[in-house]
């Protein structure tokens, strides 16, 4: 593929870069803040982000500037900005790197976003397991306060902002923005019924914007270099800029890779990641985190952008690409993911609460040699009864591994049932305890 310039990972690729305030400033950090505060109207910042085409990097891909514009202009009470740093999607680890290696990039993005929506208070909702990341961010916030980038009258502009840290308690569902809001209010993390939407009734029922770490980290670069520059990268008009993809599984060079939106999976897996780890060919891959439907080698030339993946029957999601080689059991892969979704279901919606356990029990039955032919139609019927019938997107996410593996690897399910065992195991398994391959 053609050479490209990293945006978000550029600083940390420089030798000796520590992520300190001094390092960030030497790399051009906080120049966007100096350019914008008191010199560009908040509404104009929103227009700049709209023109850039930046879409949310957390999963849904909603246009960022449009989301900001939904905040009521005439609201007299408080309004809030929340950085969603609750990165819990299996196979996804990009936000963690951004927070730990270059925290001021995200903080500057938060300050600009807060200025654009005219809020005085912002929060970072960080996954409870990110102990190191939370410590690094706390130190970075302290540096920003000491330097005058946070607090009252920032850089003499008259704009004031305080950013607070909020540690989550390890619930995957709190990555969903309304469950996150409930958690921040001290309640159990359950998704809210919408409408009303967070833009008008968010944190403490006040107008609120929730953005992902990677989304906010892009904002300083857009303000510095202009919306036209950002919109020219990637696959315009609907998939602009770069995207950090988390590559894991059976590849030679797993890791985080920032690439222009719109490159193909073939380029990502075989050029950037060095190809398959062993001598076995590619069997399947998940393109956008555990919530995304499985794809096969025939999809290698699909572009890694929002529209192309939707047309292929999956989604870009969180950007977690998990690669599986021949010899990987697809029934086991679906069962493994269902264990996660069943464990993390918040229990609010009956189809999800009851359906996830039922699906998991059937998958275990098939994987461990006790499946019946009618189980396949039963799985699809149950998935159909869950799809679109839950308050949040969790229900649709948990059925994706099943429906996609049944679509592409139904013969594998049937082989389990005919042989009364997993054909990828050396010996049949007598019990129903999940065993990893």
Name the one residue in this structure whose structure tokens are 């699909």: 302
Which of the following CATH numbers is that of domain 330-419: 1.10.420.10, 3.40.50.720, 1.20.1440.230, 1.25.40.10? 1.20.1440.230
Q: What is the pLDDT of residues 258-288, one digit of tens each?
A: 999 999 999 999 999 999 998 899 999 999 9
DSSP-H helix ranges across 226-328: 227-231, 265-266, 306-311
CB 83 within 8 A of CB 124: yes
CATH architecture of structural domain 242-325: Roll (3.10)
CATH architecture of structural domain 11-232: 3-Layer(aba) Sandwich (3.40)
Spell out the domain ranges in the chain.
Answer: 11-232, 242-325, 330-419
Residue closest to 315 by CA, chosen among 404, 382, 250: 404
Looking at residue 72, its pLDDT comes to: 95
Looking at residue 1, its pLDDT comes to: 56
Q: Encode the chain (437 residues) as per-residue pLDDT tens digits.
A: 567 789 999 999 999 999 999 999 999 999 999 999 999 999 999 999 999 999 999 888 999 999 999 999 999 999 999 999 999 999 999 999 999 999 999 999 999 999 999 999 999 999 999 999 999 999 999 999 999 999 999 999 999 999 999 999 989 999 999 999 999 999 999 999 999 999 999 999 999 999 999 999 999 999 999 999 999 999 999 999 999 999 999 999 999 999 999 999 999 999 999 999 988 999 999 999 999 999 999 999 999 999 999 999 999 999 999 999 999 999 999 999 999 999 999 999 999 999 999 999 999 999 999 999 999 999 999 999 999 999 999 999 999 999 999 999 999 999 999 999 999 987 644 444 443 33
Burial of 273 (0-12, 13-18, 19+ CB in 10 A): buried
Q: Which residues contact 118 (CB under 8 A, 6 or more apart)?
A: 42, 71, 79
Rounded to two decimals, the pTM is 0.93
């Amino acid at each position: 593929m053609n050479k490209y310039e990293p945006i978000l990972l550029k600083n940390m690729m420089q030798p000796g870069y520590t992520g300190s305030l001094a390092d960030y400033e030497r790399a051009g950090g906080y120049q966007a803040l100096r350019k914008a505060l008191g010199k560009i109207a908040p509404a104009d910042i929103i227009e700049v982000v709209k023109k850039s085409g930046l879409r949310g990097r957390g999963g849904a891909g909603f246009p960022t500037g449009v989301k900001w514009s939904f905040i009521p202009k005439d609201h007299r009470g408080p309004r809030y900005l929340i950085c969603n740093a609750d990165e819990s999607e299996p196979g996804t680890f990009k936000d963690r790197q951004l927070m730990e290696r270059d925290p001021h990039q995200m903080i500057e993005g938060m300050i600009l976003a807060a200025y654009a929506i005219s809020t005085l208070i912002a929060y970072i909702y960080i996954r409870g397991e990110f102990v190191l990341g939370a410590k690094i961010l706390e130190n970075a916030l302290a540096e920003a306060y000491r330097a005058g980038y946070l607090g009252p009258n920032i850089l003499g502009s008259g704009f004031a902002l305080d950013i607070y840290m909020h540690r989550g308690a390890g619930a995957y569902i709190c990555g969903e923005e309304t469950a996150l809001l409930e958690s921040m209010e001290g309640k159990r993390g359950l998704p809210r019924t919408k409408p009303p939407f967070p833009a008008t009734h968010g944190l403490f029922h006040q107008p609120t914007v929730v953005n992902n770490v990677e989304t906010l980290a892009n904002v300083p670069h857009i303000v510095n270099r202009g919306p036209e520059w950002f919109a020219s990268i990637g696959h315009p008009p609907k998939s602009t800029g770069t995207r950090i993809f988390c590559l894991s599984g059976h590849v030679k060079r797993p890791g985080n890779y920032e690439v222009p939106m719109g490159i193909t999976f073939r380029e990502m897996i075989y050029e950037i990641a060095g190809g398959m780890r062993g001598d076995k060919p590619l069997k399947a891959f998940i393109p956008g985190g555990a919530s995304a439907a499985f794809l096969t080698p025939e999809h290698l030339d699909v572009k890694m952008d929002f529209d192309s993946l939707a047309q292929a029957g999956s989604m870009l999601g969180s950007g977690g690409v998990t690669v599986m080689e021949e010899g990987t059991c697809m029934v086991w892969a679906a069962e493994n993911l269902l264990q996660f979704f069943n464990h993390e279901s918040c229990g609010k919606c009956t189809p999800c609460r009851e359906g996830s356990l039922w699906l998991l029990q059937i998958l275990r039955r098939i994987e461990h040699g006790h499946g019946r032919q009618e189980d396949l139609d039963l799985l699809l019927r149950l998935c159909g009864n869950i799809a679109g019938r839950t308050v949040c997107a969790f229900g649709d996410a948990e059925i994706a591994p099943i429906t996609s593996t049944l679509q592409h690897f139904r013969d594998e399910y049937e082989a389990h049932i005919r042989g009364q065992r997993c054909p990828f195991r050396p010996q049949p398994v007598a019990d129903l305890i999940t065993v990893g391959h």
